[in-house]
A and B are shown apart, each in its own frame.
Chain A
């Protein structure tokens, strides 16, 4: 499923597992919804009714990246996110809410957790969401851009301030991740170890699939 299939031809195609992390109500699902369906709903609560969504980005004429995007399904709310969620993730978007200072602390904790537990070469992006609430005189901003940016730089993360509501920087965020992923580099980095090796349970008598990550 999430193993890259970069062909040897001039056309390059790679697929990656992307997970979203961050405190409840910072707008994780909204970011996905904006990126995948270009929609926004002020009053949606949680869950998107699917384990994951997919979206494809064409980086240039010959390069296509497909994201398999996993949302937390709300399991993070009571600190009960199953480890299988971020296992074999190639990239992660850690989201905080720029109007809630404590949500950046939570984001930092998630970055630490990922650096400790996830794939060694995982690409992590920090996204300060709800940028639309930080405009004009009635700005509700509680986290300064410079502060978050300095932290992201220190921790080696991509950094964007986004608005799922206005779509500002959403596509840019995912495109930057796609550009940072190792499209040419094959091997364990891109795919789940063992991906595609599983038996096929569909239908009647099945045969064991060949293990081939290339």
Chain B
């Protein structure tokens, strides 16, 4: 029997969100001893996918019902342990006495569930509810982005299927159109006015051929570091609407502050968009079958294959420090026995939800409102696409922040046939209004859910999400805290955070080793 949580770990990772699971997979692959704990009973934290029962529990049950459910689970576990021990004693005694007629004793009745089940239209039992894999933070992967590269390099793509998302749209005057990313598409696109087609083609030509170390591909008079993006648009002769949809639907900036910053970042984001688009055609996005929760689960499994230890249902109780103020260990209830347990470690990586209310550790950087909608029809204006990303630029609604809509159909195995999952989200602009969901109204209208309309088999789960970042970089005491998953539509900022945390922890840049599983015949 291996030792039971009484050894020293190189890193204790708290939380099993995507950021944490990638890091524990990376550290595991480098031969480090990793312990990963999570207070939840499932993997993924804020980046988990939930089944319909867990969605119902999270969004429709009262705190009291959830508390009683926790008690009920503990009670069932206690009864099971008690009965198993009693059974073992009786069995041993019967064996001793040579009694062959021994039969297990009947079991005590179990306490009943207090909260309601989901309505029957969404399934009648666990097997039905498990057909739903609803991502709490519905983001896409950029086909040519960093997360895709990490999935490939770590070998995780061998056990995960990703599908190309069918379309990327931007809304102008209430009508969604595909975002053009090639010169040919620019000519055809209704988004680009006749006057602008020539300039847009030139711009896309520049994007497609740009190479940092080849000055002949650079635009005369444009320095990516000296000029702002506003100036870059002017240099290319792009008007305000063309530059708006480029900035919002291709560079994927949710608001306009990027305009007066150096052009490098938006230009690099546009290059990423166009390259991603070129990989699989319909859109620059890909998404895993069975939802985003697959990603943390697969990375955690990878880490376990490398020897990492995992314990769910295990809340962090306390971080312990040595006399220099550096981490020396963590305290938590043992995942099985619930006995108070302390393990030694010199480093802790944690997600911000474990420090809620601790102003020395984390600060709030914003608030977004998100509605996860269950629909029975594809979204109007998307050519019946099974999946899509739709951006409503802020200027079209008199807002400062865009509304993002993502749509996924049953082809992604995230819901039963006939259903669609749509997420609508935006940064909250009027936190004092007390009605954050009102800010999503233009998005609801697009989904046919305007003015509170909801079909018989449809549902809206609305959530306000606080976004946090760490106050310190963690090098003072070796507690490294990740950032919340932000409002962007993809995971590029998450992988930036992974690299950033790695550098803070290790003092050097992250280089992912290629892993090849040799399937042995």
Contacts and interface: CB of A to CB of B under 8 A. Distances in A.
Interface of A: 1, 24-25, 36-37, 45-47, 49-56, 68, 72-75, 77-80, 82-85, 87, 101-102, 105, 116-117, 120, 192-199, 201-202, 205-208
B517 interface: yes
Choose among A24, A68, A82 the residue with the greatest number of B CB atoms under 10 Å from its CB: A82
Interface string B128-153: 00100000000000010000100110
A42 to B, nearest CB: 14
Interface string B150-176: 011001011111111000000000000
Interface stretch (B178-186, B300-308, B475-483): B300-308
Interface of B: 1-2, 42-43, 84, 87-88, 91, 126-127, 130, 143, 148, 151-152, 155, 157-164, 278-281, 286, 289-290, 294, 297-298, 300-302, 304-307, 309-314, 335-336, 411, 413, 517-521
Contact of B280 (A80, A84, A206): A206
A163 to B, nearest CB: 20
A197 B88 CA distance: 49
Contact of B335 (A45, A47, A72, A80): A80
Nearest to B143: A199
Contacts of B290: 84, 87
Contacts of B157: 201
> Closest 10 CB pairs between A and B?
A198-B161, A73-B304, A82-B297, A78-B335, A78-B311, A80-B310, A80-B312, A84-B297, A73-B305, A54-B519
B64 to A, nearest CB: 26
B518 A50 contact: yes
A75 B307 CA distance: 10
A78 B314 contact: yes
Given A193-B413, A198-B289, A82 B164 contact: no
A201 B298 contact: no
Given A101-B91, A198-B162, A78 B336 contact: yes
B325 to A, nearest CB: 30
A19 B16 CA distance: 23
A78 B309 contact: yes
B151 A50 contact: no
B5 to A, nearest CB: 8
Q: Could you say which of B126, B159, B164, B305 has the most chain A C-beta atoms within 10 Å of its C-beta? A: B305
Given A105-B84, A199-B280, A79 B301 contact: no
A193 B161 CA distance: 11
B158 A1 contact: yes
A192 to B, nearest CB: 8
Given A75-B301, A193-B413, A194-B289, 12 more contacts: A1-B159, A52-B519, A53-B519, A73-B301, A77-B309, A80-B311, A84-B159, A87-B290, A105-B87, A196-B161, A198-B289, A206-B280
Contacts of A102: 84, 88
Contacts of A77: 309
A143 to B, nearest CB: 9
B88 A101 contact: yes
Contacts of B306: 47, 49
B127 A120 contact: yes
B162 A84 contact: no
A119 B483 CA distance: 37
10 contacts: A46-B2, A55-B521, A73-B304, A82-B43, A82-B300, A101-B88, A105-B84, A199-B164, A201-B151, A201-B152
Contact of A79 (B155, B298, B302, B312): B312
A194 B335 CA distance: 35
B84 A197 contact: no
A208 B309 contact: no
Nearest to A195: B161
Contacts of A72: 304
Contacts of A37: 520
A116 B413 CA distance: 18
Given A46-B2, A87-B290, A207-B280, A197 B152 contact: no
A198 B163 contact: yes
Nearest to B1: A25
